[in-house]
Amino acid sequence: MSGPASEGETVRSVTRALQILAAFDDEHAICSLTELLERAHLPKTTALRLIQSLLRNGFLFRRGDGRFCLGPALIRLARAVDVAWRLPLAADATMESVRSRTRETVNLYLLEGMSRVCVAQKQGPQHIRFVIPVGVRLPLWAGAAGKLLLAHGDRDFFESVLRASGKEEDFSAGLAVELGQIREQGYAVSRDERERGASSVAAPILDRRGGVTAALSVSGPTSRFTDDRVADFAAVLTEAVQQMAAALTGSSEAASPGSPIARSEVGL
């Protein structure tokens, strides 16, 4: 069978296979069949068929104890990801400098669809710190980096994100006002939004087109994010994102809100 119907079924099968692979993470690196079926959220017969296909192609591996883990075919892909997403030395050094100056965890976020993803991190040196798993998708409607990225999107994007979140109209109206304030001041702050006891400050990294698809943030316990410290963090980040933009885009011109650098996507 060929045509639009079969193409649609192929795309659906690929999407479902990716759901199975996405069931694995740092906390679930090895899963029993029952756990894998539960985490994939797929009909059992469909999941079993796709699991067999992934096993045959090396994307899944069945261990001696019968449990499953990601397969050896992904080792090569993981190495390619590491090369492609490795930060330039200058960008890595900037993040290290921010960590040293703030003594908090530093994260680099990229916009991915209607979410944000932490793609690089420097954990804070203090014993009590707040750490986001690298590679995990997080919402745009909460957290300093999320709100910052949302603030620089257009109205249609904002409405799409809020529809997907299921938030009520009152929340949307309040968030819209806050996003306007974020654009005006050039950075975002969050306290106890996504997780109680955690706070963050974020500043935008401009790409070559003058858009904002990346954000640099510092995060840590709310008790350390006093108003004075937040002002200090914002000043450090505002300086750092200029250096990050130049490093990530290969431009010698530093970026700052209101003074966009040369026009192109942020390239890691």
Note the pLDDT of residue 264.
36
Give pLDDT < 50 ranges for the chain: 1, 252-268
pTM (two decimals): 0.74
Complete domains list, the chain, with CATH: 4-76 (1.10.10.10), 85-249 (3.30.450.40)
Note the pLDDT of residue 213.
84
Query: Which among 110, 136, 132, 137 is positioned nearest to 121, based on CA atoms?
Result: 132
Query: Alpha-carbon distance 233 to 211, whole Å?
Result: 23
Note the pLDDT of residue 107.
96
The two beta strands, 30-31 and 188-191, are unpaired
Note the pLDDT of residue 4.
56
Note the pLDDT of residue 169.
75
Note the pLDDT of residue 167.
80
Q: Which residues contact 98 (CB under 8 A, 6 or more apart)?
A: 106, 122, 216, 218, 236, 237, 240
Q: Confirm if 134 and 85 have CB atoms less than 8 A apart.
A: no
Note the pLDDT of residue 5.
53
Note the pLDDT of residue 6.
65
The token pair at 262 is 């040369």
